[in-house]
Amino acid sequence: MPAAATIDHNTLARLVEANAVRGTHIVARPGGWGVIVKYGAAESSLAATRSKETRVFKRLETLVGYLKEVGISRFDVDAADFDATSAKTYSRPDASATLKQAHAALAHDRWFRDHVGQAIKEADDPSTQWVSNEVAMAEGAKRRAAWRARGESVVKGKGSPV
């Protein structure tokens, strides 16, 4: 139907409040279902909010829920032009990856907060033994030297890596 024969959601809601709706028809359209509303001597299709073209609901259940919210619980259905193969379903292959990333980020956040919390507990514990930076650096240098020596002996075939 042309744009002139459409009504928007607000107009439909006002017509329902005024008990001016004489009939409501759900009609199969390419890609879903449309609504035709009879009021007074007029008959109009429900328009989409932004485009003002006839609104198409992809699922009949969604349309029925919408009509019930507006206050219309009785209607007839014309499924003569219904074609189940033309109804496209949308899949979001990226949704799975996005959800996995969100779960991984949440798990990392929990892990990080647990470790920071444990570190703060240990830092606040009066029995914690502190090591100076100089001692820590010297100990690290000793460990690196030992690893280097072990790596060199493995390369020369004198030992095992473990």
Domain of 28?
Answer: 3-78
Specify if 29 maps to a domain: yes
> How many domains does the structure of the chain reveal?
1
Backbone angles phi, psi at 33, to 5 degrees: -135, 140
| CATH label of the domain that carries residue 34 | 3.30.720
Confidence of residue 98 (pLDDT cuts 50, 70, 90): confident
Query: What's the confidence (pLDDT) of residue 1?
Result: 39
Backbone angles phi, psi at 64, to 5 degrees: -60, -45
pLDDT (average), residues 94-118: 93
Cα(89)–Cα(94) distance, integer angstroms = 15
How do residues 72-93 score in pLDDT, each as one tens digit? 999 999 999 888 776 555 566 6
Strand order, beta sheet including 32-39: 6-7, 42-46, 32-39, 21-29, 76-78
Specify if 44 maps to a domain: yes
3-state SS assignment for residue 83: coil
What's the chain's average pLDDT?
88
Q: Which helix (H) or strand (E) holds 122?
A: helix 93-124
* The two three-digit tokens of residue 43, written as one number: 């008959």
By the 10 Å C-beta count (0-12 exposed, 13-18 middle, 19+ buried), 77 is classed as middle
Q: Of 46-50, 53-57, 114-118, 152-156, which has the strongest mean pLDDT?
A: 114-118
pTM equals: 0.51
How do residues 23-61 score in pLDDT, each as one tens digit? 999 999 888 899 999 998 899 999 988 887 889 999 999
Specify if 64 maps to a domain: yes
Say if residue 14's pLDDT is above 90.
yes
Query: What's the confidence (pLDDT) of residue 3?
Result: 40
